[in-house]
Chain A
Amino acid sequence: MSAGGGAVGGRRAWVVLAAAALLALAATAYVLRAAGRGGAATARPAAIRLDDRGRLLFRNAGSNGVLASVPLVHPGGSRVLSGLNCVRVYASAGTGVCLTVRRAAVPKIFAVILDRGLHEVRRVQLPGAPSRARVSPSGRMVSWTVFVSGDSYTSPDLSTRTGILDMRTGRVIASIEDLTLLKDGKPYRSPDVNYWGVTFAADDDHFYATVRTKGRTYLVEGDVAARTMRTLRENVECPSLSPDGTRLVFKKATGDPSRPWRLHVLELRTMGEIALAETRSVDDQAVWLDDHTVMYGRLDGGTTDVWTVPADGTGAPRLLLRNAFSPTVVR
């Protein structure tokens, strides 16, 4: 610009212009090519059914995170892929919930409720990035948790919002913060409460979840009809109720930053807890494969895989599905 004579400056300007034109051309070509490859992602989802007992459903980590399924007896077998992109998925008794993202300039996030043929029956718009999803054993109640932290995850409060949908009445509780929380028996109010990780009991009324306030996490037992929740115990996150309704598997904060959570099982009758044989950190709401085994997503270096471990503290973790997350068993 300033240095050099007119001829040199002129030549320099031409070189810069040529570079700008080339780069603009490359960028435009790439965007047009990317725009052209869309559309194929919405294939018909009929290949998977939610009443196909004995199959595992999960988010397939490859293929852009679509809902996939394999037979439970042969989890390493070939995967049936749907056209549904689900960040989190869960299904029970023919009702499915898929937390998904509509891709647009400003993405929108939805909980999509699916019937047994995997057709959409309802969608609820959610205020943030998907975290947890559950359906009650009867298929009537649906719950989800999303992160609503705004733009920065390093900000001091990573907020969550947890909602419940009653498929029979159609009513949505957009945030269970609206229910009354009883802490140590007394009504408790604080602007900093955050709830996550609902799991439903068989009666479609009671549920368990995690609440965090003033830097501590508690297990709560909730009652949808009475619109109340009460704290039961400290340091229980992402509970998941066993099919027989007697135990919760949950992640317990260890205080060790290199392995922040360890899976434990809580016996609800005695309130005794045992550590499971999985010693690596698990950041997932585990799922009961049957009354004796739990499964969960575990991050290993570059990929997330689904593992199983016995629910009584014995044995060792076993790999169930490679490149998969958010597993659920069709029963």
Chain B
Amino acid sequence: MYVSAGLGNAARAMRVWRLVAPNIVALGAVSLVTDVSSEMITAVLPLYLVLSLGLTPLQFGVLDGMYAGVTALIRLVGGRLADRSQRHRLVAGLGYALSAACKLGLLVAGSSPVALGAVLAADRTGKGLRTAPRDALIAASSAPRDLGLSFGVHRTMDTAGALAGPLAAFAVLWAAPGAYDAVFVVSCCVAVFGVVLLVAFVRDPPIRALPRAAMSLRPLGRPGFALMCLAAALLGACTISDSFVYLLLQRRLGIAAGYFPLLPLGTAASFLTLAVPFGRLADRAGRRAVFIGGHVLLLGAYLLLRGPLAGAVLLTCVLTLHGAFYAATDGVLMAAAGPLLPGPVRASGMAVLQTAQALARLVSSVLIGAAWTAWGRPAAVTAATAGLGVAIVAAWPLLRAAR
């Protein structure tokens, strides 16, 4: 298979890197560094809030859930701002800088849930602002035929940062036990370095003049792109949220709660390994096919969750498939959308697509939560599996028609 040939082959890896524009490597480095910073916080925040400040998990749950919708909307604003000004680097940079400042905000907020909520909201705003302009920059910096590879490289670097973040947090807490403030300060320094990298090495690609009158400035006014959004939302609405997948694994295998935070690392490792090979595969075999294929892999993971496998085999297979799903869908969807979106609407179009997907996933987690409460866990998984199967069959013709 292609995947195995692509791994551990230094010469091939060198060729991959040469195909990727320096701007994309720079953006990948910014994302890597920023993800180290943000995942440091994510790793310690629940413990900090509950154990150090004495908040109840429910109070934190409210804080956390309240802003999920806000992020989705801010993303649209970020895309729009970037397209209007055509200064993608500036808008993305503002997002990165805002999130960096929020790391210190955590120190200042102390134990006030309201202030903490505000800081978390600002952090999400920063993330929302930067995502769409960043992906538009990747698309604009890449040769059209290598879009899948470019996004694959970016997502690999991004995920590498996400893997390193918790390790960095644990290293700080190992050196200074209980000093959550030190984690926040180190995270802030790392985030500032990310902004420095962005300013120093990322460039706005030259705008290609396009006949403005010739096209709709509303991305959804483009029928092909609207179909793609519909397909992504349909599939998103049948995707079980990550935390629920880990919870199912934990219940099936009786994993001790202390090891629970390690499960996402398995997914990340698989995502990290497969993002580049799947990106190249998408460039050659078709991005929509790989995107659909990724959902088929996810379907496989759901089936395994209900199947006869057990123990370490089940754990390895499910996490590998789960990471492979992300590798085949996350960057690949953006790569598939790129050619449908001309420069002046690219960032806002990508924002619309990501928002549609995110909101659909939000709906799915509410629905699955309700099904779980009403029918019990196995029935909820069965329903989600059946739903995903139907969605795959329905989304394929939509995607094929999206031109």
| A129 and B51 within 8 A (CB) | yes
Complex partner residue of B170 from A103, A106, A127, CB under 8 angstroms = A106
Task: In the complex, identify which listed stretch (B9-17, B21-29, B73-81, B298-306) lies at the interface while the others stay far away.
Answer: B21-29
Once the chains bind, are B261 and A127 in contact (CB under 8 Å)? no
- Note all chain A residues with C-beta closer than 8 A to B317: none
Q: A106-B170, A151-B46 are in contact. Are A1 and B250 (CB under 8 A)?
A: no
The answer to whether A12 has its CB under 8 Å from any CB of chain B is yes
8 Å CB contacts to A: which residues of B186-218? Answer: 186, 189-190, 192-193, 196-197, 200-201, 203
Beyond A38-B179, A127-B256, A158-B61, whether A151 also contacts B189 by CB under 8 A is no
- Contact check: which of A24, A151, A192, A325 meets B243 at CB < 8 Å? A151
Contact B22–A35 (Cβ < 8 Å): no
Query: Do A127 and B172 contact each other (CB < 8 Å), given the known contacts A2-B22, A61-B111, A158-B57?
Result: no
Q: Which residues of B contact A149 (CB under 8 A)?
A: 57
A193-224 vs B, Cβ < 8 Å mask (1 yes, 0 no): 00000000000000000000011000000000
| Contact between chains at A151 and B244 (CB < 8 Å) | no
Residues of A contacting B111 in the complex (Cβ-Cβ under 8 angstroms): 61, 302-303
Q: Given A2-B22, A106-B170, A214-B373 in contact, is the A131-B179 Cβ separation under 8 Å? A: no
Q: Interface digits, B376-398 against A, CB 8 Å rule (1 contact, 0 not)?
A: 11000000000000000000000
Does chain A have a CB within 8 A of B307? no
B369 contacts the other chain (CB 8 A):
yes
**Of the candidates B177, B247, B372, B376, which one forms a contact with A150 in the assembled complex, judged by CB atoms under 8 Å apart?**
B247
| Residue numbers in A under 8 Å from B176 (CB-CB) | 31-32, 34-35, 38
Interface residues of B in 34-77 (CB under 8 A from A): 46-47, 50-52, 54, 56-61, 64-65, 68
B46 and A104: CB pair below 8 A? no
Q: Looking at the assembled complex, report how far the CB atom of A172 sits from the nearest CB atom of chain B, in whole angstroms.
A: 17
A16 within 8 A of B: yes
* Residues of chain A contacted by B372 (CB below 8 angstroms): 156-157
Q: How many chain-A residues does the 8 Å CB contact rule pick out?
A: 62
Chain B residues with Cβ below 8 Å from A158 are: 57-58, 61
Residues of A within 8 A of B376 (CB): 190-192
Given contacts A103-B178, A155-B243, A215-B373, contact A12 B201 (CB under 8 A): yes
A23 touches B115 (CB 8 A): no
Let me know if A151 and B261 touch, CB within 8 A.
Answer: yes
- Beta-carbon nearest neighbor of A41 in chain B: B178
Chain B contacts for A31, CB-based, 8 A: 172, 175-176, 179, 182, 185-186
Interchain CB contact under 8 A, A127 and B258: yes
Judge whether B196 and A19 touch: CB under 8 Å: yes
- Flag if A148 contacts B257 (CB, 8 Å): yes
CA distance A127 to B373 in the complex (A): 24
A154–B243 CB distance below 8 A: yes
**Inter-chain contact B247/A155, CB cutoff 8 Å:** yes
Q: B342-376 vs A: 1/0 string, CB under 8 Å?
A: 00000000000000000000000100110011101
**Is there contact, CB below 8 Å, between A34 and B182?**
yes
A128 at the interface (CB under 8 A from B): yes
Say yes or no for A107: interface residue by CB 8 A criterion.
yes
Question: Across the interface, which residues of B come within 8 angstroms of A43, CB to CB?
Answer: none
> A155-B243, A302-B111 are contacts. A1–B264 as well, Cβ < 8 Å?
no
Residues of B within 8 A of A147 (CB): 50, 57
Given A131-B56, A147-B57, verify A156-B244 contact (CB < 8 Å). yes
Point out which of B110, B186, B246 has the most chain A C-beta atoms below 10 A from its C-beta: B186
Nearest CB of B to A67, in Å: 13
**B174 at interface (Cβ–Cβ under 8 A)?**
yes
In the complex, A106→B398 CA distance in Å?
47
A305 on the B face (CB < 8 A): no
A3 contacts partner chain B, Cβ-Cβ < 8 Å: yes
A283 partner, pick from B51, B58, B247, beta carbons under 8 A: B58
Contacts of B113 in A (CB 8 A): 299, 301-302
Q: How far is B244's CA from A158's CA once the two chains are assembled, in angstroms?
A: 11
CA distance A214 to B286 in the complex (A): 45
| Structural contact, B64 and A154, CB atoms closer than 8 A | yes
Check: A30 CB closer than 8 A to any chain B CB.
Answer: yes
The chain B residue with its CB closest to the CB of A127 is B257
User: Would A34 and B373 be within 8 Å (CB), given that A12-B200, A154-B65 are in contact?
Assistant: no
A38 to B174, CA, bound (A): 12
B61-A302 in contact (CB<8A): no
In the assembled complex, which residues on chain B have CB atoms less than 8 Å from the CB atom of A188?
none
Contact at B200–A153, with CB atoms within 8 Å? no
Distance of A19 Cα from B192 Cα, bound (Å): 9
| In contact, A150 and B261 (Cβ under 8 angstroms) | yes
| List of B residues within 8 angstroms of A30 by Cβ | 182, 185-186
> Is A27 in the interface zone, CB < 8 Å from B?
yes
**Interface core residue of A154, A190, A283 (most chain B CB under 10 Å):** A154
Task: Say yes or no: B200 contacts A101, CB within 8 Å.
Answer: no
Q: Which residues of B contact A32 (CB under 8 A)?
A: 175-176
Q: Mark A9-23, 1 if CB is under 8 A from B, else 0.
A: 000110110011001
8 Å CB contact of A34 from B51, B65, B115, B179: B179
Min CB–CB distance A158 → chain B (angstroms): 6
Once bound together, how far apart are the Cα atoms of A41 and B200, in whole Å?
Answer: 44
Assess whether A104 is in contact with B173, with CB atoms less than 8 Å apart. yes
Report A-chain residues with C-beta under 8 Å of the C-beta of B182.
30-31, 34-35
Chain A hits for B175, CB < 8 A:
31-32, 35
Q: Which residues of B contact A27 (CB under 8 A)?
A: 185-186, 189-190
A sample of 10 cross-chain residue pairs with beta-carbon separation below 8 angstroms, ordered by A number, consists of A16-B201, A19-B196, A23-B190, A27-B186, A32-B176, A38-B176, A104-B174, A106-B170, A129-B57, A131-B57
6 other contacts beyond A65-B54, A155-B247, with CB at 8 A cut-off? A31-B175, A38-B177, A87-B54, A127-B257, A283-B58, A304-B54
Hey, which bits of chain A sit against chain B, CB under 8 A?
A: 1-3, 12-13, 15-16, 19-20, 23-24, 26-27, 30-32, 34-35, 37-38, 41, 59, 61, 64-65, 87, 101, 103-107, 109, 127-131, 147-158, 190-192, 214-215, 283, 299, 301-304, 325
The 8 lowest CB-CB distance pairs between A and B, nearest first, are A103-B178, A302-B112, A156-B369, A34-B179, A150-B260, A152-B243, A35-B176, A34-B182
